[in-house]
Amino acid sequence: MKKKLIFLFAVLTMFTSCSSDSDNVTDPEEPSKEESYKFTQKVDMVEFNIFDLPKFTLLNSEDGGLNMYLFGLSAVYDSITWSNSVQPGSFKIFTQKHANGYESQSMTTQWANAFYLPGDYETYLHGYKDGKIVYGDTLKIKVKDTKDFLMYNWSEVKEADDSSIGFVNVLNKDFELTATRVVEGEIPGVKIRVLPTLQDDNLFASLSDKLLYNYISTIYNEPIYGRDSEKLAEKYQELFLNKMLYVTPQCIWITPKSRIVLLHEDREGLKRTLIYAEPNR
């Protein structure tokens, strides 16, 4: 299987500019009032499932467009961030740097993000000046969890993937999930991994164990068979039709529609951690 990842995320539009501090050039269409730089958010869907990919757009004009001048914007804000009410962290929409007599500005006007947890969210734009929030905009969205297992209904898993699909979390680059569909005979399955953030595979396997265990337990509650269960290995053999080689089960969750197992994989000393799920039949 190819190791290439296909990421369901893109920063769709970005402006950048730079100039010397000694430049004295102005744009005749530069907005002259701070009101011109009061941005709002628009999203292409306000209600969607976890792991869907809503697209956010930055607006500041009455006709639903964008009218901006980066150097003028830098006088109003030092930075602009995007965040939400559920997840920690923030995504920088507008940044600027000053070094060696030059200044540069960068701004993202469209972006997308996969939400891993269901809930009622508020998403925020915050404009900062001198370390203080001087402007904000709020948007409400609803994230649902209605599929059989995370991002898939089992009826959708008809063919195996030749590469992983990545779901980027712009608020936390250390926790980006990837999914791979597998089909053995007529049995569909899904493998979930964390995108590597450490060069040491053994250390990352340990980190992935904690991240995946906490995440699956948050979505589906505590496992039916935990790490200390004497029947864990026996139940893995009994419950799962598709069994992987070189793995040791750690925990098993059972939902009305899915059977889920946290696995440690050790292939010639190369350690990895993953979640595997298949239909509960």
Q: Parallel, antiparallel, or unpaired for β 5-7 and 164-167?
A: parallel
Q: What is the pLDDT of residue 65?
A: 80
Do 163 and 239 lie in a common domain? yes
Centroid of chain to Cα 123? 14
Residue where a domain terminates, one of 144, 170, 190: 144
CA distances from 259 to 74, 191, 223, 280 (A): 52, 12, 10, 5
Q: What is the dihedral of CA 261, 253, 188, 245, to 10 degrees?
A: 20
Q: At 214, list the tokens.
A: 């906490």
Do 21 and 138 lie in a common domain? yes
* Domain of residue 22, residue span: 7-144
Do 217 and 136 lie in a common domain? no
Rounded to whole angstroms, the Cα distance separating 176 from 159 reads 23
DSSP H/E element including 42: strand 40-43
Number of domains in the chain: 2
Do 118 and 181 lie in a common domain? no
- Quick check: is 2 in a domain? no
Do 101 and 185 lie in a common domain? no
Do 179 and 200 lie in a common domain? yes
Residue where a domain terminates, one of 144, 170, 197: 144
Overall average pLDDT of the 11-26 stretch: 45
Higher-confidence residue: 231 or 14? 231
Do 176 and 128 lie in a common domain? no
Do 61 and 121 lie in a common domain? yes
Do 96 and 37 lie in a common domain? yes
Q: How many percent of the chain have pLDDT more than 70? A: 87
- Quick check: is 258 in a domain? yes
Tell me which long-range contacts 173-180 makes (C-beta under 8 A, separation of at least 24): 173/197, 175/116, 175/211, 175/215, 177/114, 177/116, 177/215, 178/5, 179/150, 179/151, 179/152, 180/1
- Quick check: is 274 in a domain? yes
Do 12 and 131 lie in a common domain? yes
DSSP 205-242: HHHHHHHHHHHHHHHH-S-SB-TT-TTHHHHHHHH-SS
- Quick check: is 116 in a domain? yes
Q: What is the pLDDT of residue 35?
A: 66
Q: How many percent of the chain have pLDDT more than 90? A: 72
